[in-house]
Amino acid sequence: MKISSKGRYAIESLIYLATLPNAPTQVKDIAKKTDIPQKYLEQIFFALRQANILAAKRGPSGGYYFQKSPQELTVGDIIRILEGEIIAVDCLQDKSACITMQLYESCITRALWQDISSTISDIMDSTTIAALAFQLQGGMGL
């Protein structure tokens, strides 16, 4: 049960971006600072732009900047955009994903998977990109 590198890289690069003034920043520079492959980061940023998290400016002084404030942007938002719902097993959101439908009503493990999913999403939803950037810059603990 792992978060993919896509989700991790997105958040890492957004933390870096949140430490800068909100002006267009080139993917090349972000990739270098965060040690993330540039091509991969371009794909990730394209998806974040589609989701209106970032905006892009074209031209020689172009780049990406925040469309949504990092103070209002949580780790959970980013993971949902790039990896889908934060659930430990598919049957939590889609009953038809139940592997043994006849036992669905009496399934005793579903409550556990629900508990695990909420634990993960609670932490992700209460952590903003701004708070992580603040922490990085020597701010107080979250």
Partner 1 sequence: MKISTKGRYGLRAMIDLATHENCDYVTLASIAERQQISLNYLEHSFSALKKAGLIIGHTGINGGYKLALPPTEITLQMILVVLEGDLAIVPIIPAAEETIYSQCLRTNVWEKINQKLADILKKTTLQDMLGCNNKND
CA–CA distance, 13 with 31 (Å, rounded to integer): 8
CB of 73 to partner 1, least distance (A): 13
**Pick 61 or 100: Cβ nearer partner 1:** 100
| Residue whose pair of structure tokens reads 């080139």 in the numeric block | 26
- Give me the 98-127 binding string for partner 1, x by CB under 8 A, dash otherwise: -xx-xx-xxxxx--xx-xx--xx--xx--x
Among 46, 88, 114, 125, indicate the residue that binds partner 1 (CB under 8 A): 88
140 contacts partner 1 (rule: CB under 8 A): no
35 contacts partner 1 (rule: CB under 8 A): yes
- Give me the 45-84 binding string for partner 1, x by CB under 8 A, dash otherwise: ------------------------------x---x---x-
CB of 58 to partner 1, least distance (A): 26
